Amino acid sequence: MTATIIDGKIIAAEVRAEAKVEVEKFVSLYNTNPCLAVVLVGENPASQVYVRTKSKMAKEIGMDIEDHIKDKDISEKDLIDLIAQLNNDKKVNGILVQLPLPEHIDSRVIIDAIDPIKDADGFHALNVGRNSIGGDLLKKSFVPCTPLGCYLMLKKNIPNLAGMHAVIIGRSNIVGKPMAQLLLEESCTVTTVHSKTKDIETITRQADILVAAVGRPLMVKADWIKPGAVVIDVGINRVENPSDTSKTMLVGDVDYVNAMSVASAITPVPGGVGPMTIACLLRNTVQAAFRQKISKI
Ligand code: GUN
């Protein structure tokens, strides 16, 4: 078997095109562009790249972007004050605080300071709670961008996910936990495995859908995968290039080359989940802009 490649670049372009249509609708109705405020603290190179890419993609669909770049030594209080200012700014529809934050700042305090209706990342406790309850409350919440991207890619390949066994490797608040909730909502049987799980391979081999979100290069070997499974690789790991050690390259959490002969479909790295995350951020932001016109939360 050779797996079908699930091309995140193509699906992300579709999500961005849909978001662009919504932006145009918003502009014609309200005579102002939806606006995303991005807060970046410190000089983490990966975060700087993400923030630049977000700005570029947002501008391409007609969304305004405000970058708030802050020194790594900013106090928690000053950051909370900035969030309060963005919450009160009518021009700002979405707020994203790039994670990770420096250690002296409690990320949970900062995230929960964001007005939930401007929480483009879907990380605020109210949105997390609504996502967990599911049902109609999903319409009022924002779903975190990376698991939403994975979900949209899965649904493109398998419109009816009910009854499938989904195994998620990783239990982070950004990916693993919200991914599990989205798949439960689709009536999957969901198992989450993590660093303390015993004999992970035995569990992953039962997965019809395998989502790897651990940040460990090439951890998932071909013999961890059930033949015919759909594999979503969230990992983006920079490693030394074996054919030229002076260079680096990006690899996922899955041993992609060997997994190709076992899985029925798989996302590549790069070009899989990565582009979907930003596309879903734009989608969430324009949704937030519309919701702010009709309700408080
Ligand atoms: N850092 C890594 N992924 C994310 C994300 O989806 N949102 C934010 N705010 N920070 C991140």
Q: How confident is the model at residue 251 (pLDDT cuts 50, 70, 90)?
A: very high
Q: Are 231 and 254 in contact (CB under 8 A)?
A: yes
Please report the pLDDT score of residue 72 as a whole number: 97
**How is residue 286 written in tokens?**
């324009």
Q: 26: burial class by Cβ within 10 Å (0-12, 13-18, 19+)?
A: buried
User: Known catalytic residue: 121?
Assistant: yes
Q: Given ligand 1 and candidates 121, 234, 276, 282, which is best to mutate, with the most ligand atoms within 8 Å of its CB?
A: 121
Q: How far is the CA of 275 from the centre of ligand 1 (A)?
A: 13
Res 294: pLDDT: 87
Q: How far apart are CA 297 and CA 288, in angstroms?
A: 10
Q: What is the mean pLDDT of residues 39-66?
A: 95
Supply the residue whose CA is at minimum distance from atom 8 of ligand 1. 98
- State how far Cα 19 lies from the chain centre: 16
In whole angstroms, how large is the CA radius of gyration of the chain?
19
Structure confidence at residue 1 as a pLDDT band (50, 70, 90): confident
Whether 98 sits among the annotated catalytic residues: the reply is yes
Domains and CATH numbers, the chain: 32-115 (3.40.50.10860), 145-274 (3.40.50.720)
- Quote the pLDDT of residue 240: 96
Mutational pocket test of ligand 1: of 36, 48, 50, the residue with most ligand atoms within 8 Å of the beta carbon: 50
Element (H, E) at 182: helix 176-185
Query: How many angstroms separate the Cα of 266 from the Cα of each of 7, 15, 99, 147, 262?
Result: 9, 19, 27, 15, 10
Q: What are phi and psi of 53, to 5 degrees?
A: -65, -40
Amino acid at position 160, single letter: N
- Considering the candidates 98, 181, 287, 292, report the single residue annotated as catalytic: 98
The residue whose CA has the least distance to atom 11 of ligand 1 is: 99
The predicted pLDDT at position 295 comes to 72
Residues 6+ apart with CB under 8 A from 245: none
Helix axes 8-30, 45-60, angle to 10 degrees: 60
Which of 115, 118, 119, 121 is labelled catalytic?
Answer: 121
pLDDT score at 114: 98
Q: What is the mean pLDDT of residues 214-241?
A: 97
pLDDT in tens, 58-81: 999 999 999 999 999 999 999 999
What is the pLDDT at residue 31? 97
Percentage of residues of the chain with pLDDT beyond 70: 99
Token pair recorded at residue 32: 């102002």
pLDDT band at 296 (very low <50, low <70, confident <90, very high): low
Residue entry with tokens 């309850």 = 133
Establish whether 85 is a catalytic residue: no
Closest CA to 293 of 37, 28, 82, 55: 28
Q: How far is the CA of 56 from the centre of ligand 1 (A)?
A: 17
Confidence of residue 297 (pLDDT cuts 50, 70, 90): low
Residues whose CB is less than 8 angstroms from the CB of residue 134 and which lie 6 or more positions away in sequence, other chains included: 181, 184, 185
Share of the chain above pLDDT 90, in %: 97
Q: How far is the CA of 57 from the centre of ligand 1 (A)?
A: 16
Cβ of residue 96 lying under 6 Å from some atom of ligand 1: yes
HSE toward the beta carbon, residue 141, CA cutoff 13 A: 23
Nearest CA to ligand 1 atom 4: 99
Decide if pLDDT at 182 tops 90.
Answer: yes
Ligand 1 neighbourhood includes 120 CB (under 6 angstroms): no
CB distance 97 to ligand 1 below 6 Å: yes
Task: Output the average pLDDT for the chain.
Answer: 97
Quote the CA–CA distance of 168 and 146 in Å, as a whole number.
13
- Please state, in angstroms and rounded to a whole number, the distance separating the CA atoms of residues 207 and 115: 37
Within 51-186, strands assigned E span 64-70, 94-97, 165-169
